Amino acid sequence: MIPTLAADDEVLVDTRAYKQQLPDVGEIVVAHRPDRQEVILIKRVAGALPDGRLLLQGDNPAASTDSQEFGPVAPEHLVGKVTSRFA
């Protein structure tokens, strides 16, 4: 699969999108990495666990750091929803 975003792309983020609800599967989100809060990630939501934590996945699984490495992400680690990208 070709990644949705390239390294030099810029994105717009709606920081209010998930204040009242969780993202849907397939949405692209910005989140703090749970084990290294200073690292900000842009990933696609692959699923949600019954306890509300999210599974995040990169569009290029062979070269992506995602929930397979750092585990599920709690909703409070979400920064927002990617609404637009600019190449």
Is the dihedral angle over the CA atoms 60, 61, 65, 70 positive or is it negative?
positive
Instruction: At 75, list the tokens.
Output: 């909703």
Residues found in the chain: 87
Please report, for residues 68, 75, 81, the alpha-carbon distance to residue 21 in angstroms, rounded to integers and kept in the order given. Answer: 24, 9, 12
- Share the mean pLDDT of the chain: 92
- The pLDDT of residue 63: 84
**pLDDT bracket for residue 64 (50, 70, 90):** confident
Higher pLDDT, 75 or 6: 75
Please report, for residues 34, 42, the alpha-carbon distance to residue 31 in angstroms, rounded to integers and kept in the order given. Answer: 8, 7
Whether residue 49 contacts residue 74, with contact meaning beta carbons closer than 8 Å, is answered with no
Mean of the pLDDT values across residues 4-11?
Answer: 87
Residue 62 in this model has a pLDDT that exceeds 90: no
Residue 10 in this model has a pLDDT that exceeds 90: yes
Higher pLDDT, 63 or 56: 56
Q: What confidence tens digit (pLDDT) does each residue in 43-61 have?
A: 999 999 999 999 999 988 7
What domains appear along the chain, each with residue ranges and CATH number?
10-86 (2.10.109.10)
Whether residue 69 contacts residue 61, with contact meaning beta carbons closer than 8 Å, is answered with no
